[in-house]
Amino acid sequence: MTLNVFSCVSLLIYLSLVLLPLGISMTLNLPNRPWLDELSSSLAMIGFNIILIEFWLSGRVKLLSKVLGIDWVLQVHQLFARTALVFLLLHPFMYTLPSQPVWMTAASHQNFIGLTLTSGLTGMLSLIALIFLIGFAITRKNSEISYESWRLSHVILALVIAIIGFIHTMDAGRYAQEVWMRAYWQFMLGLAILSLAWTYLFKPLLQNKNAYEVVSIKEVSLKIWELVIKHSKAKKMKHQGGQFAWLKIASSSPLPENPFSIASCSNQNSYDISFLIKDVGDFTHQISQLQTGQQVFVDGSYGNFGAEAFSVKNDQLIMIAGGVGIAPMLSILRQIERDQDIALLHKKILLIYGNRVIEQAINLQEMVKIESFKNLEVIQLVSEPSKEWQGPTGVLNTPTLEGILRSQQINLETAQFLICGPAEMIDSVETSLDQLGAPLAHIASEKFQYDFGKMNPKNKRSVISALLGSATLIAAAIYAALH
Ligand SMILES: Cc1cc2nc3c(=O)[nH]c(=O)nc-3n(C[C@H](O)[C@H](O)[C@H](O)COP(=O)(O)OP(=O)(O)OC[C@H]3O[C@@H](n4cnc5c(N)ncnc54)[C@H](O)[C@@H]3O)c2cc1C
């Protein structure tokens, strides 16, 4: 979520959607209440609307992830969830009117707040569930809980918050007593539940009828496996170089499924899709045990990482891959090579490929027709070199990057950077590029994890954007309360 024009416009559209219920409430022309009571209702409406929109921003809506990028979608999802929590936590403390224990008409809400025992309980329950959901999401990385258990708890808690929060809103909300407002909340809850049902119910059923099968599986470097699959009914999956897909093995049931960058590029003469998968845990270890012909289930394609590589706007493209982060770079290079676009084949491309030991590096010559590129330079870097290693050594820190970029005459201000690999490596490379003077808007990254990274310059900008966005929402709530 960097501050370039496109992400700013996207953020503005998002904020407008979040403010929709406030807009509807202002058209209802209900009698005035004390401004703090109005502010409280406004914050509650905004907070609950953020929660319902979160369902589309889980990273599982293909169109959104393609247009906005998975990074933007997930950062808005993660950062604005906190805004919703603050707004919803604050709102019960701001009411000044007394509570009326019996059900009232909308007009009578002018003198009382519509809090009954049931609506008090539903409000409290959904708030507690929200605190747990956000708390678990923030602390997941450092907890013992498996990713799959966490994801299941995330989905269940989200559903509980949406349904109980909806009951609370319909029961206690002053504006929710009005037809248009009721229709809005019903529509939004319906969409939220539909998006969950699509991912966890309908899609698995469809996947069962559209299974893929393993064409080959082989270890191409230390603990990195190349998995090649094809659709069992010879259907093609459309994808752009750099995108990723969700993979399931054994069964198409909703969990577990894991994301992997596609390493191949769609080809007229072949149905094969390939991945490079590093054996790091339970799921990835099972991948290495797959047999030819075995069924796997794929949901793709997602994200828009690397889209800049296919533009001739920037005359220098710098790809920085750490370990298995080479996978999306391969598909980008393969696509450029497939398309035979002269301008792209002549573009200055620098691929910096870092690994801990050389045994972890894949053989690029075997995977891409390097000779097709007229201006491609590959620099392999090893941080723990063997005695035989004669190439450059070190980690991808500022001095190393500066040395390489200067020696390759890279114009830091205009070059386009693509970075992929483990989150720690990306956080550090982004910081280095910022220190060296590369504009953050020219740096696109694919982190191999969904958690928010360290507070490097790029992430700081995302947090600042979210804070500015939240301030805009508060300003709108105050405006609505005073009018
Ligand atoms: C967009 C994207 C593209 C990726 N592309 C590749 C690739 O091309 N090659 C590759 O080797 N790895 C890739 N990864 C990382 C890969 O998804 C994880 O290494 C893998 O899911 C780990 O699963 P595990 O059960 O083997 O390991 P575990 O030890 O269970 O998990 C290790 C870590 O991986 C992450 N993870 C685990 N399960 C999931 C899940 N279901 N969804 C999201 N994250 C999960 C979590 O952060 C977890 O802490 C990618 C990740 C993302 C987000």
**Per-residue model confidence as pLDDT tens digits over 217-235:** 999 999 999 999 999 887 8
Note the pLDDT tens digit of each residue in 300-354: 899 999 999 999 888 899 999 999 999 999 999 999 999 999 999 999 999 999 9
* In the predicted structure, residue 462 carries a pLDDT above the cut 60: yes
Of 302, 336, 366, which residue constitutes the final position of a domain?
302
Domain membership flag for residue 459: no
Tokens 């999306």 correspond to what residue?
A: 328
Return the ligand 1 atom nearest residue 141 CA: 49
Residue 127 lies in a domain: yes
The predicted structure's pLDDT at residue 104:
54
What tokens were used for 372? 């097709």
Q: Are residues 139 and 271 in the same domain?
A: no
Pick from 49, 79, 78, 74: nearest CA to 64: 74
Per cent of the chain over pLDDT 90 is 80
Q: Which long-range contacts (CB under 8 A, 24 or more apart) does 452-458 make?
A: 452/75, 452/78, 452/79, 453/423, 453/426, 453/427, 454/424, 454/427, 456/427, 456/428, 456/430, 456/431, 457/430, 457/431, 458/2, 458/430, 458/434
In this structure, the answer to whether residues 189 and 60 fall within a common structural domain is yes
**pLDDT greater at residue 177 or residue 277:** 277
Phi first, then psi: give them for residue 445, nearest 5 degrees: -130, 150
What would the pLDDT profile of 124-133 be if each residue is shown by its tens digit? 999 999 999 9
Q: How far is the centre of ligand 1, averaged over its atoms, from the C-alpha of 259 (Å)?
A: 6
**Which residue bears the tokens 């569930």?**
129
Distance (Å) from CA 424 to ligand 1 centroid: 14
Binned at pLDDT 50, 70 and 90, residue 26 comes out as: very high
Do 9 and 63 lie in one domain? The reply is yes
Q: What confidence score (pLDDT) does residue 105 get?
A: 58
- Which residue minimizes the CA distance to atom 40 of ligand 1? 258
Average of per-residue pLDDT across 202-222: 94
Domain end position, chosen among 302, 326, 342: 302
Whether 101 shows a pLDDT value over 70: the answer reads no
Which of 42-46, 115-119, 171-175, 318-322 has the lowest average pLDDT?
115-119
pLDDT, averaged across the chain? 92
**Which protein residue's CA is at the shortest distance from atom 37 of ligand 1?**
147
CA of 302 relative to ligand 1 center, distance in Å: 15
Q: Are residues 236 and 132 in the same domain?
A: no
* Local structure of residue 94 (DSSP, 8 states): G
| 247 and 357, same domain (yes or no) | no
Same domain? 188 vs 323? no
Q: What does the alpha-carbon distance between residue 139 and residue 346 come to, in Å, rounded to a whole number? A: 47
CB 232 within 8 A of CB 211: yes
pLDDT at 82 over 80: yes
Does 460 fall in a domain?
no
- The pLDDT value given to residue 232: 83
- With bands split at pLDDT 50, 70 and 90, how would you rate the model's confidence at 1? very low
Window from 10-19, 26-35, 147-156, 358-367 with minimum mean pLDDT: 26-35
Q: Which of 273, 302, 331 is the last residue of a domain?
A: 302
457 in a structural domain: no
Residue 2 has pLDDT above 50, yes or no: no
CA distances from residue 312 to 3, 138, 260, 307, 336 in whole angstroms, order as listed? 22, 39, 27, 11, 12
Q: Please tell me whether residues 221 and 202 are part of one structural domain.
A: no
Could you list the residue range(s) of the whole structural domain that residue 400 is in?
A: 310-451
In this structure, the answer to whether residues 104 and 33 fall within a common structural domain is: yes
Is 456 inside any structural domain? no
- Nearest residue by C-alpha to atom 28 in ligand 1: 281
Same domain, 259 and 285: yes
Tell me the chain's radius of gyration from C-alpha atoms. Answer: 25
Asked, for residue 223, whether it belongs to a domain, the answer is yes
pLDDT of 3 above 60 = no
To test ligand 1's pocket by mutation, which of 284, 297, 445 has the most ligand atoms within 8 angstroms of CB?
A: 284
How many CA atoms are closer than 13 Å to the CA of 391, on its beta-carbon side? 16
pLDDT score, position 446: 94
* Section 110-116 average pLDDT: 77
Lowest-confidence pick of 103-107, 280-284, 335-339, 417-421: 103-107
CA-nearest of 238, 327, 302, 300 to 67 is 302
> What CA–CA distances, in Å, run from 459 to 5, 304, 465?
17, 19, 10
Strands (E), 284-375: 295-302, 316-322, 348-355
Strand order in the sheet with 224-231: 258-261, 244-249, 295-302, 212-221, 224-231, 273-278
CB 407 within 8 A of CB 434: no
Q: Are residues 58 and 76 in the same domain?
A: yes
Judged against a pLDDT cut of 50, whether residue 398 lies above it is answered with yes
Q: What angle do CA 332, 337, 341 make, to 5 degrees?
A: 105
What average pLDDT does range 349-375 have in this prediction?
95
Over residues 51-61, the pLDDT tens digits come to: 999 999 999 99
Tell me whether residue 415 is in a domain: yes
Tell me the three state secondary structure of residue 465. Answer: helix
Residues having CB within 6 Å of any atom of ligand 1: 70, 147, 244, 256-261, 275-278, 280-284, 324, 327, 446, 448-450
3-class SS at 439? coil
Does residue 226 fall inside a structural domain? Answer: yes
Q: What is the CATH number of the domain that holds 272?
A: 2.40.30.10
Say whether pLDDT at 108 is over 70: no
The model's pLDDT over 162-171, given as tens digits with 9 standing for 90+, comes to: 999 999 999 9
Please choose, from the candidates 369, 350, 324, 354, the residue with its C-alpha nearest in 3D space to the C-alpha of residue 220.
324
Question: Number of folded domains in the chain?
Answer: 3
Same domain, 182 and 290: no
Tokens 């054994």, residue located: 250
Ligand 1: which atom is nearest the Cα of residue 327?
8
* 203 and 159 share one domain: yes
